Structure 1
Amino acid sequence: MAGNSKRRGALRKEGTKKGPVVGSGGQRRRALRGKGPTPPAEMRPGHPAARRAAREAARKQQEGAKAAGSRRRPGDGDTPETVLGRNPVVECLRAGVPATALHVALGTTADERIAEAVQLAAEAGISILEVPRGDLDRIAGGALHQGLALQVPPYGYAHPDELLEAAAASGRSALIAALDGVTDPRNLGAVVRSVGAFGGHGVVVPQRRAAGMTAVAWRTSAGTAARVPVARATNLTRTLREYASAGLMIAGLAADGTVSLDEFDLAADPLVLVVGSEGKGLSRLVRETCDVTVSIPMAGPVESLNAAVATGVVLAEVARRRRNA
């Protein structure tokens, strides 16, 4: 009808045309881009398989706590630990850290580290759970996680007496390392690795004011912690006295030791090697408990060695002399 074009609403205003406008095609192409393969059922939030995987992870954690043995003391287990970040998680999985669950944030941009973490976790039988980013933020307590977190259960410490039992079962003279006031878990992990490399039977650490077997210590041990038991002593001085009563020689490492490593007979008796912190050295009570203090002769102008390095030097010398005895 003539004149209808003048009716209000008969013509659309410029710029209000329905459908795509200039420059909108790129957005549509991105919207239609595929999101990759469908994740496994156990990684889909709310899926029955994911709930079963979470229950299985909790069950394994409870079994791990029970497997620590009836002689495990209250407070030995501490609390579960969460390793955050792509590189730390991958390093822990490479080292065989006994984790129970790998958490991956939904929508995380995948790279080679995440792919390797998922592959290593699957090969180790670790539950892989894809969770909302907000849930992972709560797990991380606000710390940077890069979309990846690894749940590690409390370490199951041995009883100090179990190290004597392991030595008796091996048929070799006992060789135990005891750490007094060493607070860096990397030093603990390195000592565990040296003990395993040179035929030792275990490591003893105090329950307080000392490094424990965290994921960092386990990673530094390069998996040796799976084979070398670590015992936690409520009172290190009392434990050393009990070892002395069982016939072991207690030798403490000290820069001002009464005997040089070159002169000390390391091949004859069962031995407990006590190492203090790099700064303070052996505590007074522990030093008084030692049968002898041993110093490492050094040719260069170095006052002291790192606790882990000093332990490795002496353990290597013990192993050499016992082979030649």
Structure 2
Amino acid sequence: MAYVFVQCRDAACRMRFPAPAGEAAMLRCPRCRGEVAIAVAALDKPADVPSMAGQPRLVGLLDNIRSIHNVGSMFRTADGAGLPHLHLAGITATPDHPRLAKAALGAQQTIGWTYHANGVEAADQLRAQGYRLCALERLESAARPSLDALDVSGVGLVLVVGNERAGVDPDILARCDAVFSLPMLGQKSSLNAAVAFGIAVYYLRFGNLGFAPG
């Protein structure tokens, strides 16, 4: 869908906002209800997808994600980063839930998914298939291997994200080959689960490690 930026004609308001090109002529300013005029067309966004051929496969395991909105956002992130599959476990909502589509914006139809009632059993199944597991979690212990030390040559990686409040299930964490933590420099100890998942996925997908979409 083509978009334009419109601007309110009222000199005291001059609010500027994007709108679908086909609807711009019928809009009123949401701030003052005055008339608007098209200021400029939005720029086209060319696709720029780097080649990831021959790189290890990256998928996600979302275990007991409480928020349906977070799950939908994670589907959208997975689609944007080219992940082929998400494993959903425990109370994590599946695309069968009607509210998930609002956040996923159609990505729930483009990403493969599998539901598991038990996240620990899902982790065991993925390990049996040859995947390495990496948890997105903040741990004080330095004993757990870091992601940078993980040998992923010729294998796939499962990025594990746990419950927003309880974190990653300890029995899943015990099966993980590494832990991936995001630095927190402010007063808060963690980010929103969907935001953290997005940062981690894009680092793994397009960063130095270069995991392939499938």
Normalized against structure 2, the TM-score is what?
A: 0.64
The aligned residue for residue 28 of structure 2 is none
**1:212 deviation in Å?**
2.7
Matches within 5 A, 1:1-325: 173-206=56-89, 208-213=90-95, 214-256=97-139, 258-259=144-145, 263=148, 265=150, 268=153, 269-319=155-205, 320-323=207-210
Q: What is the rounded CA distance, in whole Å, between the counterparts of 1:199 and 1:227 in structure 2? A: 10
Q: Do the aligned residues in 2 keep the contact of 1:202 with 1:228 (CA within 8 Å)?
A: yes
Q: Deviations over 1:128-181 (max 9, x none)?
A: xxxxxxxxxxxxxxxxxxxxxxxxxxxxxxxxxxxxxxxxxx975321111111
Q: What is the rounded CA distance, in whole Å, between the counterparts of 1:219 and 1:172 in structure 2? A: 32
Q: Name the SS for the 1:279 alignment partner.
A: coil
Q: 1:223 to 1:242 in 2, by over 3 A?
A: same
Amino acid at match of 2:199: V
Q: What is the rounded CA distance, in whole Å, between the counterparts of 2:92 and 2:84 in structure 1? A: 20
Q: What is the rounded CA distance, in whole Å, between the counterparts of 1:277 and 1:324 in structure 2? A: 24
Q: Name the SS for the 1:289 alignment partner.
A: coil
Q: Do the aligned residues in 1 keep the contact of 2:58 with 2:211 (CA within 8 Å)?
A: no
Q: Name the SS for the 1:273 alignment partner.
A: strand
Q: Name the SS for the 2:114 alignment partner.
A: strand
Query: Relative contact order, CA 8 A, sep 6+: which one is greater?
Result: 2
In proportion to residue count, which structure has more helix? 1
Q: Do the aligned residues in 2 keep the contact of 1:189 with 1:217 (CA within 8 Å)?
A: yes
Q: Do the aligned residues in 1 keep the contact of 2:66 with 2:91 (CA within 8 Å)?
A: yes
Amino acid at match of 2:167: G
Q: What is the rounded CA distance, in whole Å, between the counterparts of 2:183 and 2:60 in structure 1? A: 20
Q: 1:291 to 1:209 in 2, by over 3 A?
A: same
Amino acid at match of 1:300: G
Which has the greater radius of gyration? Answer: 1
**1:235 deviation in Å?**
2.3
Q: What is the rounded CA distance, in whole Å, between the counterparts of 1:266 and 1:190 in structure 2? A: 29
Q: Do the aligned residues in 2 keep the contact of 1:267 with 1:318 (CA within 8 Å)?
A: no
Q: How many percent of aligned residue pairs carry the same amino acid?
A: 25
**1:224 deviation in Å?**
1.1
Q: Name the SS for the 2:78 alignment partner.
A: helix
Q: Do the aligned residues in 2 keep the contact of 1:264 with 1:294 (CA within 8 Å)?
A: no
Q: Do the aligned residues in 1 keep the contact of 2:55 with 2:210 (CA within 8 Å)?
A: no
Q: Do the aligned residues in 1 keep the contact of 2:65 with 2:71 (CA within 8 Å)?
A: yes
Amino acid at match of 1:321: N
In proportion to residue count, which structure has more strand? 2
Structure 2: 5+ residue stretches without partners:
1-52
Q: Do the aligned residues in 2 keep the contact of 1:179 with 1:204 (CA within 8 Å)?
A: yes
Q: Name the SS for the 2:100 alignment partner.
A: helix
Q: What is the rounded CA distance, in whole Å, between the counterparts of 1:300 and 1:267 in structure 2? A: 32
Q: What is the rounded CA distance, in whole Å, between the counterparts of 1:219 and 1:254 in structure 2? A: 27
Q: Name the SS for the 1:250 alignment partner.
A: strand
Normalized against structure 1, the TM-score is what?
A: 0.43
Q: Name the SS for the 1:302 alignment partner.
A: coil
**1:188 deviation in Å?**
0.5
Q: What is the rounded CA distance, in whole Å, between the counterparts of 2:132 and 2:180 in structure 1? A: 12
Amino acid at match of 2:189: E
Q: What is the rounded CA distance, in whole Å, between the counterparts of 1:224 and 1:202 in structure 2? A: 11
